Every structure is written in C-alpha cells, then in structure tokens.
Amino acid sequence: MGFVIVQWSHNYFKHCSISMNTKELSRAMLFLANHGKDPLTCKEFITSSQAKRINSLMLTCGHYDASGDFAFKVGLPGKSGVGGGIIAVIPDKMSICVFSPRLNEQGNSLVGTKALELFTTKTGLSIF
C-alpha cells in the first residue's frame, strides 16, 4: 500500500510541476472553448460532447471546496492549480489564464479569483 501512495504522490507532483506561463496555458485550453477543436489549427482533440462534460466538471469541481463559490462569483468553467494559476473557459469565445501565487483558504489563487470575478463583471462574459 505504501508504494502505491508514494508512486501516486510522485506522479501527482510531476504533473503539478509542469511549467507553463499564462499565455501557454490559456492557449493549451483553447480547444475547450471551441467544442473540443483548436480554432487556430482546426485539429479536433476531443468530441464536442467530451468538451461539454469537461467544462461541466471544471465548473462543478475545478476549485476544490470553493467550486460553487467560484461558479457563483466568476460564472465560468475553470480549474485552479496549487501553484496559483487558474484557467477559465468562455465557451465559443476564448480561454483565459491568470496567475497569482497567494492562495486562499480553499487552495485557490486569491487575487486570480478576484481578477476573474472583475473580468466577468466588467465584460459580461459569464455563462450565467
């Protein structure tokens, strides 16, 4: 049992340690805003149905125990990372990434969440 936990922890750490800047991360998730297809290359990564499911999971689970609060305040599917990054998807428009390393009590970027809330408030680009 101990080996399985150590192996899982090692793999999780490696995945969390992938280094991407905000431009690269928002570009990497652009296909989720376009029904599974990259709008720049026209390459289909996943089906439209799969993209819909992933976006719904990000909306309901992407911010740990604060997912409901994020959906209420920001109104976008998104995924936070423990490094302080947040990726959000504006369906049929774009993906956006913010970064600020200070985390709130739930483990999400404090300033990043506020920035996305302000963004959706000012632009009206919420799914609600």
Containing domain of residue 46, as a range?
22-123
Could you report the average pLDDT of every consecutive run of 10 residues in the chain (128 residues)? 50 63 93 97 96 97 96 97 94 96 94 98 97
Q: Is residue 2 part of a domain?
A: no
Q: Spell out the residues 6+ positions from residue 119 whose beta carbon is closer than 8 angstroms to its own.
A: 96, 125
The whole-number pLDDT of residue 14 equals 60
Task: State the Rg of the chain over Cα.
Answer: 15
User: For position 114, which CATH number holds?
Assistant: 3.40.710.10
Q: Is residue 7 part of a domain?
A: no
The reported pTM is 0.84
- Tell the residue number behind the tokens 């439209």, with chain if given: 48
The whole-number pLDDT of residue 4 equals 47
Q: Is residue 65 part of a domain?
A: yes
Q: Is residue 64 part of a domain?
A: yes
Rounded distance between C-alpha atoms, residue 46 and residue 18, angstroms: 22
Total structural domains within the chain? 1
Please count the other Cβ atoms lying within 10 Å of the Cβ belonging to residue 72.
11
Asked if 100 and 111 count as a contact pair (C-beta separation under 8 A), the reply is yes
Residues in the chain: 128
